């Protein structure tokens, strides 16, 4: 134990078997966030207990789980002693068995900040853009996400930035109000302009990489946010690469989301919107069906000439992975995505 008295944050030493050691501010960080902040890239995707990528084993020491039932672990895995680094609170110095993932070694380190809501702009009946200001410069890559702490919500919620970090101190998020969702409802119902909440970021490795191939962005619902950010990033590049943007929505009631792309339209951006469940009573002459089917029909025989970015609900992500990685054998390093678990 390396406690330093009442006022200083408690710090504990974590040793990874056959790997590096680091110190963690255990009152403030989960094991995952402390490791990433110390420059030790433990594997992760969602940061919120849903995906299971951050599994590890405790060899020695004491660790508490912030969310014992997190769906990222099966009952069987729990019984076999597996834990989730993103839900682990460190109570003593520890030794753990965990993988190191070079992909998680993102050059911008996450920072914690108090974020003040500057404005909220409605996009559709259940989608809004929340713009937060932090006192420090905003630094993130296009396509990354941050962890927000809405009031009266256990744990953090992951939301992807929809802007790029060229707006000093501004982090914008496009959030869907989930009908029975605790965190998204708290954001919509309890956070007013001028209110502050905790923000920690950036996280995620599905961010825009430099390159020469044209880019395909595929967004399902609120997956619009990070894909807008990636598109903005590409269009701000001095190069000539183009973006083909596929937006999957449910019905005509969601079409306000497509308007978010309007100001970016031009010779380097082509947008196709597809509705999966159009209402028969409202006009719609565009494509219908699932967005991945439209992507498949549109890209021709050699999809590997594109770099792919996609974000949205798990069924869409599974379908896109199957399409690109299994059926078309697009190289893995040309495919980047965030699954909104």
What residue ranges bind ligand FES (CB under 6 A)? 44-47, 49-54, 72, 84, 86
Which residues ranging from 160 to 189 are in contact with ligand FAD (CB under 6 A)? 160, 173-176, 178, 181-185
Region of residue 31 (left: phi > 0; alpha: psi -120 to 50; beta: else): alpha
Binder of residue 63, out of ligand FAD, ligand FES, none (CB less than 5 to 8 A by kind): none
Helix 291-298 vs helix 314-321: angle between axes, to the nearest 10 degrees?
Answer: 30
Residue 251 to residues 38, 121, 179, 279, Cα–Cα distance (Å):
45, 21, 17, 6
Strands 269-275 and 127-133 turn out to be unpaired
312 secondary structure, DSSP code: E
Question: Which of these, 160, 133, 304, lies nearest to 233 by C-alpha position?
Answer: 160
Tokens at 183, concatenated = 């965190």
Q: CB of residue 162 vs ligand FAD: minimum separation in angstroms? A: 7
- If one asks whether residue 217 binds ligand FAD (CB under 6 A), the answer comes out as no
- The CA angle 267-271-272, to the nearest 5 degrees, is 145
DSSP 85: G
Q: Alpha-carbon distance 300 to 318, whole Å?
A: 21
> 218: burial class by Cβ within 10 Å (0-12, 13-18, 19+)?
buried
- Least distance CB 248 / ligand FES (angstroms): 23
Q: Which stretch binds ligand FAD (CB under 6 A): 47-55, 76-84, 237-245, 273-281?
A: 47-55
The nearer residue to ligand FAD, 155 or 303, going by C-beta atoms, is 155
- Please report the sign of the dihedral spanned by the C-alpha atoms of residue 279, residue 280, residue 282, residue 286: positive
Q: Provide, rounded to whole angstroms, the least separation between the CB of residue 279 and ligand FES.
A: 36
Asked if 48 touches ligand FAD (CB under 6 A), the answer is yes
Q: Residue 34: name its binding partner from ligand FAD, ligand FES, none (Cβ under 5 to 8 Å by kind).
A: none
> What's the DSSP call for residue 325?
I
Nearest distance in Å: CB 43, ligand FAD: 14
Say whether residue 278 binds ligand FAD (CB under 6 A). no
Binding partner at 159 among ligand FAD, ligand FES, none, C-beta below 5 to 8 Å by kind: ligand FAD
The nearer residue to ligand FAD, 126 or 296, going by C-beta atoms, is 126
Q: Give the nearest distance from C-beta 13 to ligand FAD in angstroms.
A: 26
Q: Are strands 243-249 and 214-220 parallel, antiparallel or unpaired?
A: parallel
222 binds ligand FAD (CB under 6 A): yes
Residue range at the interface with ligand FAD (CB under 6 A); choices 45-53, 131-139, 239-247, 258-266: 45-53
* Full 3-state SS string of 4-56: CCCCCCCEEEEEECCCCEEEEECCCCCHHHHHHHCCCCCCCCCCCCCCCCCEE
Q: Which CB, 46 or 275, lies closer to ligand FAD?
A: 46
167 membership: H or E segment, kind and range: none
| Per CB under 6 A, 341 contacts ligand FAD | yes
338 binds, among ligand FAD, ligand FES, none (CB under 5 to 8 A by kind): ligand FAD
**Nearer to ligand FES among residue 112 and residue 241 (C-beta):** 112
The count of chain residues that interact with ligand FAD, using the rule CB under 6 A, is 28
Query: How far apart are CB 315 and ligand FAD at their closest, in Å?
Result: 14
Question: Binding residues for ligand FAD, per CB under 6 A?
Answer: 46, 48-50, 67, 145, 154-155, 157-160, 173-176, 178, 181-185, 204, 222, 225, 338, 340-341
């Amino acid at each position: 134990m390396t406690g330093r008295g009442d006022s200083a944050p408690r710090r504990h030493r974590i040793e990874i078997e056959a790997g590096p050691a680091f110190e963690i501010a255990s009152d403030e960080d989960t094991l995952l966030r402390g490791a990433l902040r110390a420059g030790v890239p433990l594997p992760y995707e969602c940061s919120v207990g849903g995906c299971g990528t951050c599994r590890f084993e405790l060899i020695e020491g004491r660790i508490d789980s912030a969310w014992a039932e997190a769906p990222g672990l099966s009952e069987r895995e729990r019984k076999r002693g597996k834990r989730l680094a993103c839900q682990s609170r460190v109570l003593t110095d520890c030794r753990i068995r965990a993988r190191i993932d070079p992909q998680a070694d993102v050059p911008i380190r996450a920072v914690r900040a108090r974020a003040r809501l500057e404005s909220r702009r409605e996009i559709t009946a259940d989608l809004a853009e929340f713009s937060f200001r932090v006192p420090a410069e905003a630094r993130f890559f296009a396509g990354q996400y941050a962890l927000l702490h809405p009031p009266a919500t256990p744990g953090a919620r992951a939301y992807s930035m929809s802007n790029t970090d060229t707006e000093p101190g501004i982090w914008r998020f496009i959030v869907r109000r989930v009908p029975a969702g605790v965190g998204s409802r708290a954001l919509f119902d309890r956070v007013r302009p001028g209110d502050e909440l905790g923000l920690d970021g950036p996280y995620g490795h599905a961010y825009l990489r430099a390159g020469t191939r044209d880019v395909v962005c595929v967004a399902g619902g609120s997956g619009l946010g990070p894909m807008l950010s990636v598109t903005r990033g590409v269009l701000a590049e001095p190069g000539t690469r183009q973006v083909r943007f596929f937006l999957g929505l449910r019905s005509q009631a969601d079409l306000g989301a497509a308007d978010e792309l309007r100001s970016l339209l031009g010779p380097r951006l082509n947008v196709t919107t597809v509705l999966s469940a159009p209402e028969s009573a409202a006009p719609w002459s565009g494509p219908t069906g699932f967005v991945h089917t439209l992507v498949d029909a549109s890209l021709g025989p050699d999809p590997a000439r594109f770099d792919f970015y996609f974000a949205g609900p798990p069924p869409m992500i599974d379908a896109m992975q199957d399409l690109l990685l299994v059926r078309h054998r697009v190289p893995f390093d040309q495919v980047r995505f965030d699954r909104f678990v």
